[in-house]
């Protein structure tokens, strides 16, 4: 293994993968999106936080 | 005396006055020869004028053409001059088009995908790979050819000007169709050929799963969209039973070597054929074993052992399928097939085993724990089958929620949505709605049976609603008038494309038609054209940016005002009624699509921004909102979003999808996750999904939410671990 490959194995220069769904499909990383869709993804707001204040919210619909 | 002329590209060439005569003569002919006979004399006037104007410098092609025009007019050749000017103009346009195409190809060649938006038009095609680039060359050239040489002038103009995006236009001149809901059961039982040799019916779940991938791959190479399996659990169930029978015979032969394994297998298969399940017919199996004078205790061991083995077999088969669908190349290696799998309603033990293990294998992920990108798995929700406590597949519904909360898949489709339920016939799974992963839905058929399998979409073209709305300037009637006229134009374009597609023959689609993945294809012979098959497909009118169109018309979108919602529904209802009328008129399936528009939304808003400037809430973003969605940047509760979007599902019979975006880790609150899915079911959503962050650290393999620091290994993006820490993690996890 070259030195660079060794470093990469430990994570030097290696980013996190962020998988997102768009048009029904998943895409393995945001870099593959075209500019418009990348922007769309970045502007998406979350409709609810399932780990926080959601219980009373959800409760109304049970 | 002129010796040389300077060409457009700057090169010098020997001057030949015969070329001038030639061009003038062509114009003379083109004018219908209405002028007096053209003579050498006019050519000589051109040369003289050039000589006097140029002095010592060289004449250029442009200058020469100017002088030709002048001289023709002066000499009284009015018609010829007019023809010459037209001809010159046309050539200029062609040159411009060609140079635009050459510029595009230049950029494909010398820019990486990260710098070239065009190369990322479709996120699942790798346009940096060699064959991906080759495809891109072909795609851009083919688009240009279609617009300039095949499409009607008004269609080309409407596409170029950004009124009607023609989707998959690079394939319009090839005559391919979009997608298929493949009835793999027919291919399995008949056997099939992929070109080099014939594949017989599979005899095990493992082989059936492997062949599924091959069928998807083969069909994908003959279409421009994706491939879907509409009834995956029903289709694979018989092969679970065959593997199970095999396992029973194997174990029995080990314990009792004198067993007639072949005879036993035949009898086991007969049970399946009669009862529709083998796993669910334990008593019949025991009776058979007793006939072979196998004692009760041994028989119990055999059945138990075989049951454990078949579970493992099925899991491995599903794992293999997922791996195959993420690694198989299609279309010259530029992409894996766009595959989708619908399942969840088969309540036999065998069908349940397929669903369960497909979900478990999806949950487990790929080799290093990666989230599988394909297949798009779609869990079919139906009350009485899986939605409610006590339903036979309720456990699988809950498992589907858990899996989706971790892996984003499955998506959920809803058979109980009234517009899906009206087709549903109990005991006829082919009447269950199936979706293509992207959202396409095919069910009604004006020319035959109302079923999902063996059909697909032929092509679709969308309408840029915000453009029409901006141009209408707040006048709804004017908006409707232009909407109607563009829908007419789209219908004409779809029909032209349909006629072109129908002229193809079996040899053009040796798998799709030759092996009959479409219904009625088996009735064709080699030289038949395809109309009798393709008339069962759908021709779809789509739309993008309902939200922006509403803002342009009345200042608010449908997520924020009841008035806008009412108008939005009125617009989409009008579009649907238009499609229904065309279906009647032409006896072809015109349907309305909620367009995904991944590659287009950016292009259209750029054109409109340039033309109309930045209009707040309309052209001030970098993308138009997907179909009827509430804009992604608008804060709204998940339930309100579902309530707002659900009525559009009913209207968009060519397909639709709604998303809810959630924050946090849904695995920690599965009850809430399920509540959202249930709300979709209740409100008549046809196809929906919950989006949540799924991140992964490729170094330690952690999958979940990663903000700045990986919760498992503690590293930040781009930072390395120490070799000691890495070794420590490697002890615990399966690392590279």
Burial class (CB in 10 A: 0-12, 13-18, 19+), B613: exposed
List the single residue in A11, A26, A60 with the smallest CB-CB distance to B715. Answer: A11
B323 vs B213: CA distance, rounded Å:
10
Whether B659 and B628 have beta carbons less than 8 Å apart is answered as no
B155 vs B136: CA distance, rounded Å:
23
Under the banding of pLDDT at 50, 70 and 90, the label for residue A53 is low
Whether B512 and B180 have beta carbons less than 8 Å apart is answered as yes
Mutate to test the interface with A, among B340, B362, B598, B661 (most CBs of A within 10 A): B598
- Name B93's Cβ contacts closer than 8 Å, sequence gap at least 6: none
- Name B511's Cβ contacts closer than 8 Å, sequence gap at least 6: B194, B195, B218, B219, B221, B222, B517
Peptide bond before B410: cis, by omega within 30 degrees of 0? yes
Helices and strands: H and E segment counts in chain B? 24, 16
Asked whether the beta carbons of residue B602 and residue A36 sit closer than 8 angstroms, the reply is: yes
Q: Which helix (H) or strand (E) holds B198?
A: strand B198-199
User: In sequence order, what are the beta bridge partners of B376?
Assistant: B340
Under the banding of pLDDT at 50, 70 and 90, the label for residue B96 is confident
B256 vs B290: CA distance, rounded Å:
13
Considering only CB atoms, which chain A residues are within 8 Å of B685?
none
Nearest to B432 by CA among B447, B445, B416: B416
Under the banding of pLDDT at 50, 70 and 90, the label for residue B494 is very high
Residue B333 confidence (pLDDT): 65
Please indicate if any CB of chain B lies within 8 Å of the CB of A60: yes
Strands B411-414, B687-691: pairing is antiparallel
Asked whether the beta carbons of residue A47 and residue B666 sit closer than 8 angstroms, the reply is: no
CA distance B682 to chain A (A): 10
Phi-psi map region of B204: left, alpha, beta (phi>0 left; psi -120 to 50 alpha):
beta
Please indicate if any CB of chain A lies within 8 Å of the CB of B697: yes
Under the banding of pLDDT at 50, 70 and 90, the label for residue B375 is very high
Please indicate if any CB of chain B lies within 8 Å of the CB of A31: yes
B452 vs B425: CA distance, rounded Å:
12
B500 vs B176: CA distance, rounded Å:
9
Please indicate if any CB of chain B lies within 8 Å of the CB of A3: no
Report yes or no on A24 lying in a domain. yes
Strands B180-181, A48-49: pairing is unpaired
Walk me through the domains of chain B, giving residue ranges and CATH numbers: 4-91 (no CATH), 146-175+440-656 (3.20.70.20), 695-732 (no CATH)
**Is the complex ipTM more than 0.90?**
no
Q: Which helix (H) or strand (E) holds B275?
A: helix B261-275
B150 vs B127: CA distance, rounded Å:
26
Q: What is the chain B residue with the closest CA to A35?
A: B117
Please indicate if any CB of chain A lies within 8 Å of the CB of B702: no
Query: Is the per-residue pLDDT at A62 higher than 50?
Result: no
Report yes or no on A54 lying in a domain. no
Report yes or no on A19 lying in a domain. yes
Report yes or no on A5 lying in a domain. no
Burial call B458-494: b when 16+ CB within 10 Å, e when fewer: bbbbbbbbbbbbbbbeeeeeebeebbeebbebbbebb
Considering only CB atoms, which chain A residues are within 8 Å of B408?
19, 21, 26
Report yes or no on A17 lying in a domain. yes
Nearest to B657 by CA among B674, B641, B673: B641
Whether B202 and B311 have beta carbons less than 8 Å apart is answered as no
Q: What is the chain B residue with the closest CA to A26?
A: B373
Please indicate if any CB of chain B lies within 8 Å of the CB of A4: no
Q: What is the mean pLDDT of residues B256-265?
A: 94
Q: What is the mean pLDDT of residues B481-487?
A: 98
Residue A1 confidence (pLDDT): 65
Residue B729, helix vs strand vs coil: helix
Please indicate if any CB of chain B lies within 8 Å of the CB of A47: yes
* Averaged confidence pLDDT in chain B: 93
Considering only CB atoms, which chain A residues are within 8 Å of B671?
58
Residue B422 confidence (pLDDT): 97
Report yes or no on A15 lying in a domain. yes
SS3 per residue for chain A: CCHHHHHHHHCCCCCCEEEEEECCEEECCHHHCCHHHHHHHHHCCCCEECCCCHHHHHHCCC
CA distance B672 to chain A (A): 6
Report yes or no on A25 lying in a domain. yes
Q: What is the chain A residue with the closest CA to B675?
A: A62
Q: What is the chain B residue with the closest CA to A44?
A: B632
CA distance A19 to chain B (A): 5
Q: Mind listing the pLDDT tens digit for each residue in B138-196?
A: 999 999 999 989 999 999 999 999 999 999 999 999 999 999 999 999 999 999 998 88
Lowest mean pLDDT among B164-168, B353-357, B380-384: B164-168
How does DSSP assign B626-692, residue by residue?
A: PTTPPPTTS---HHHHHHHHHHHHHH-TTB--EEEEEES-GGGGHHHHHHHHHHHHHHT-SEEEEE-
Considering only CB atoms, which chain B residues are within 8 Å of A28?
370-371, 373
B596 vs B628: CA distance, rounded Å:
10
In residues, how long is chain A? 62
Residue B425, helix vs strand vs coil: strand
Residue B248 confidence (pLDDT): 98
**Considering chain B, what percentage of its residues have pLDDT values greater than 70?**
99
Q: What is the mean pLDDT of residues B32-36?
A: 79
Nearest to B190 by CA among B605, B587, B515, B604: B515
Under the banding of pLDDT at 50, 70 and 90, the label for residue A25 is confident
First to last CA, chain A: 56
Please indicate if any CB of chain B lies within 8 Å of the CB of A25: yes
Please indicate if any CB of chain A lies within 8 Å of the CB of B474: no
Query: Is the per-residue pLDDT at B95 higher than 60?
Result: yes
Q: What is the mean pLDDT of residues B533-542?
A: 98
Q: Mind listing the pLDDT tens digit for each residue in B195-230?
A: 888 999 999 999 999 999 999 999 999 999 999 999
B519 vs B532: CA distance, rounded Å:
10
Q: What is the mean pLDDT of residues B344-370?
A: 96
List the single residue in B411, B663, B699 with the smallest CB-CB distance to A46. Answer: B663
Under the banding of pLDDT at 50, 70 and 90, the label for residue B697 is very high
Phi-psi map region of B562: left, alpha, beta (phi>0 left; psi -120 to 50 alpha):
alpha
Q: Which helix (H) or strand (E) holds B460?
A: strand B457-464
Whether B240 and B203 have beta carbons less than 8 Å apart is answered as no
Asked whether the beta carbons of residue B123 and residue A47 sit closer than 8 angstroms, the reply is: no
DSSP 8-state symbol, B118: G
Look up the domain containing A27 and give its range: 11-44
Dihedral, B669, B672, B676, B677 alpha carbons, nearest 10: 60
Residue B347 confidence (pLDDT): 98
Query: Is the per-residue pLDDT at B87 higher than 70?
Result: yes
Query: Is the per-residue pLDDT at B69 higher than 80?
Result: yes
**Considering chain B, what percentage of its residues have pLDDT values greater than 90?**
78
Asked whether the beta carbons of residue A25 and residue B622 sit closer than 8 angstroms, the reply is: no
Counting one residue from chain A and one from chain B, the pairs whose CB atoms sit within 8 A come to: 192
Please indicate if any CB of chain B lies within 8 Å of the CB of A1: no
Please indicate if any CB of chain B lies within 8 Å of the CB of A9: yes
Please indicate if any CB of chain B lies within 8 Å of the CB of A16: yes
Whether B622 and B605 have beta carbons less than 8 Å apart is answered as yes
Lowest mean pLDDT among A2-16, B420-434, B633-647, B673-687: A2-16
Nearest to B541 by CA among B498, B580, B487, B465: B487
Please indicate if any CB of chain A lies within 8 Å of the CB of B621: yes
Domain count, chain A: 1
Report yes or no on A31 lying in a domain. yes
Under the banding of pLDDT at 50, 70 and 90, the label for residue B342 is very high
When comparing pLDDT for B391 and B7, which is higher?
B391
Asked whether the beta carbons of residue B623 and residue A37 sit closer than 8 angstroms, the reply is: yes
User: In the Cβ-directed half-sphere of B496, how many Cα atoms lie within 13 Å?
Assistant: 19
């Amino acid at each position: 293994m070259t030195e660079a490959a060794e470093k990469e194995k430990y994570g030097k220069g290696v980013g996190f993968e962020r998988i997102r769904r768009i048009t029904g499909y998943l895409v393995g990383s945001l870099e593959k999106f075209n500019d418009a869709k990348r922007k769309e993804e970045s502007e998406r707001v979350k409709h609810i936080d399932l780990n926080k204040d959601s219980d009373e919210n959800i409760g109304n619909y049970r | 005396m002129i010796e040389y002329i300077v060409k457009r590209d700057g090169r010098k060439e020997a001057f030949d006055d015969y070329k001038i005569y030639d061009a003038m003569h062509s114009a003379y002919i083109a004018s219908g020869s209405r002028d007096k006979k053209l003579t050498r004399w006019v050519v000589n006037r051109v040369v003289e004028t050039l000589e006097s104007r140029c002095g010592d410098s060289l004449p250029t092609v442009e200058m020469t053409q100017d002088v030709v025009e002048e001289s023709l007019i002066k000499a009284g050749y009015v018609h010829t001059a007019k023809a010459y000017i037209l001809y010159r103009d046309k050539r200029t346009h062609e040159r411009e088009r060609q140079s635009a195409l050459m510029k595009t190809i230049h950029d494909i060649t010398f820019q990486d995908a990260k710098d070239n938006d065009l190369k990322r038009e479709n996120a699942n095609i790798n346009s940096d790979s060699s064959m991906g680039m080759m495809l891109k060359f072909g795609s851009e050239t083919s688009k240009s050819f279609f617009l300039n040489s095949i499409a009607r002038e008004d269609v080309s103009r409407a596409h170029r000007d950004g009124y009607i995006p023609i989707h998959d236009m690079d394939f319009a001149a090839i005559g391919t169709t979009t997608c298929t809901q493949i009835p793999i059961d027919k291919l399995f039982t008949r056997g099939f050929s992929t070109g080099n040799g014939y594949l017989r019916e599979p005899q095990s779940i493992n082989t059936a799963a492997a062949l599924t991938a091959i069928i998807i791959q083969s069909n994908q190479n003959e279409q421009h969209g994706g491939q879907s399996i509409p009834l995956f659990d029903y289709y694979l169930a018989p092969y679970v039973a065959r593997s199970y029978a095999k396992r029973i015979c194997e174990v029995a032969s080990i314990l009792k070597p004198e067993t007639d394994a072949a005879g036993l297998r035949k009898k086991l298969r007969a049970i399946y054929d009669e009862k529709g399940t083998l796993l669910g017919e334990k008593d019949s199996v025991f009776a058979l074993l007793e006939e072979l004078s196998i004692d009760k205790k041994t028989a119990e061991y055999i059945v138990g052992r075989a049951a454990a083995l078949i579970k493992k077999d099925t899991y491995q088969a599903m794992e293999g399928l997922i791996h195959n669908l993420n690694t198989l190349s299609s279309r010259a290696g530029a992409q894996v097939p766009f595959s989708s799998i619908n399942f969840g309603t088969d309540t036999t033990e065998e069908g349940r085993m397929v669903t369960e293990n497909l979900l478990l294998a999806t949950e487990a992920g790929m080799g290093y724990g990666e989230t599988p990108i394909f297949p798009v798995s779609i869990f079919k929700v139906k009350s009485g089958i899986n939605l409610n406590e006590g339903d036979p597949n309720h456990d699988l519904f809950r498992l589907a929620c858990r899996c989706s909360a971790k892996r984003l898949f499955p998506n959920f489709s809803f058979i109980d949505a009234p517009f899906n339920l009206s087709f549903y016939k109990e005991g006829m799974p082919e009447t269950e709605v199936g979706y293509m992963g992207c959202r396409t839905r095919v069910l009604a058929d004006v020319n035959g049976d109302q079923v999902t399998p063996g059909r697909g979409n032929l092509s679709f073209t969308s309408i840029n609603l915000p453009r029409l709305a901006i141009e209408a300037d707040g006048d709804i009637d004017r908006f409707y008038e232009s909407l109607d006229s563009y829908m007419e134009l789209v219908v004409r374009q779809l029909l032209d494309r349909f006629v072109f597609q129908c002229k193809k023959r079996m040899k053009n689609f040796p798998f799709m038609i030759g092996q009959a993945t479409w219904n009625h294809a088996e009735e064709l012979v080699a030289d038949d054209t395809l109309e009798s098959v393709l008339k069962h497909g759908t021709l779809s009118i789509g739309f993008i940016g309902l939200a922006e169109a509403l803002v342009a018309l009345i200042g608010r979108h449908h997520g924020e005002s009841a008035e806008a919602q009412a108008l939005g529904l009125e617009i989409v209802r009008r579009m649907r009624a238009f499609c229904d009328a065309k279906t009647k008129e032409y006896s072809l399936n015109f349907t309305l699509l909620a367009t995904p528009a991944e590659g287009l939304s950016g292009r259209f808003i750029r054109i409109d921004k340039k033309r109309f400037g930045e209009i707040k809430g309309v052209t001030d973003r970098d993308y138009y909102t997907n179909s009827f969605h509430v804009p992604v940047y608008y804060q709204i509760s998940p339930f309100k979003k579902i309530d707002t979007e659900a009525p559009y599902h009913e209207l968009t019979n060519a397909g639709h999808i709604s998303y809810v975006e959630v924050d946090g880790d849904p695995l920690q609150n599965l009850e809430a996750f399920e509540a959202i899915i249930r709300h979709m079911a209740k409100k008549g959503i046809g196809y929906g999904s919950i989006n949540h962050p799924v991140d992964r650290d490729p170094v330690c393999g952690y999958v979940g939410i990663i903000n700045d620091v990986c919760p498992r290994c503690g590293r930040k993006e781009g930072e390395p671990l120490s070799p000691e820490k890495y070794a420590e993690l490697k002890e615990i996890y399966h690392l590279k």
